[in-house]
Amino acid sequence: MWKMLQIVDLAFNNFNGTLPGRIFPTWKAMMLDINQTASKANQIIFSFFGFGQVKYQDRVIVTMKGQEKTLIKILTIFTSIDFSSNRIEGSIPEEMMDFTALYALNLSNNNLAGRIPSSIGKLQRLESLDLLNNSFTGEIPSQLANLSFLSVLNLSYNHFVGRIPTEVWNSVWYSA
């Protein structure tokens, strides 16, 4: 179900409970085929109402990198998840770490806890990760440094311990 879903924005609702990891493997548009090269992955084309091939969507408003943005004529490869400002509990499901085509992930202002999965390093295209104001614990995983496109990382108002790994500190703008 929802295999072509690319932008999920459920922010500022009153959702509670845990994130249902069992549904995430069906969101195929959020995943890159590991056998595809990056150039092939950027050539997504689909038919739209029988009018031929379309490479862009008209308009969408997303919250990314801490700001609300109206994106006009965005590429159909843009993928974003925003579950911010709800009452979601539990941990980040491991199934979300398969979203290797994801550009922005916003889970801020919830009641999420536990550790950030070390497998987060698989999200190679991630540009923005916002985990502000949750109850995450443990150390900040050094695998965040593997995210070479990450330009905004907000881990503020959590319960992390230890030092910020220098490889993470040197690779992104960090808001603490």
Evaluate whether residue 2 is within a structural domain: no
Q: How many domains does the chain have?
A: 1
Note the pLDDT of residue 32.
79
Of the two residues 57 and 43, the one the predictor is more confident about is 57
Note the pLDDT of residue 168.
66
Q: Can you read off the two tokens belonging to residue 78? A: 């843009």
**135: domain CATH number?**
3.80.10.10
Mean pLDDT for all residues in the chain = 80
Note the pLDDT of residue 43.
38
pLDDT category at 165 given cuts 50, 70, 90 is confident
Percent of the chain's residues with pLDDT above 70: 69
Domain that holds residue 41: 7-175
DSSP 106-141: E--SSEEEEPPPGGGGG-TT--EEE--SSEEEEPPP
Evaluate whether residue 49 is within a structural domain: yes
pLDDT over 70 (residue 135): yes
Evaluate whether residue 140 is within a structural domain: yes
Cα four-point dihedral sign 62, 67, 73, 76: negative
Please state which of the ranges 72-76, 111-115, 116-120, 130-134 shows the lowest mean pLDDT: 72-76
First vs last Cα of the chain: how many Å apart? 38
Evaluate whether residue 1 is within a structural domain: no
Pairing of strands 53-54, 67-75: unpaired
pLDDT over 50 (residue 129): yes
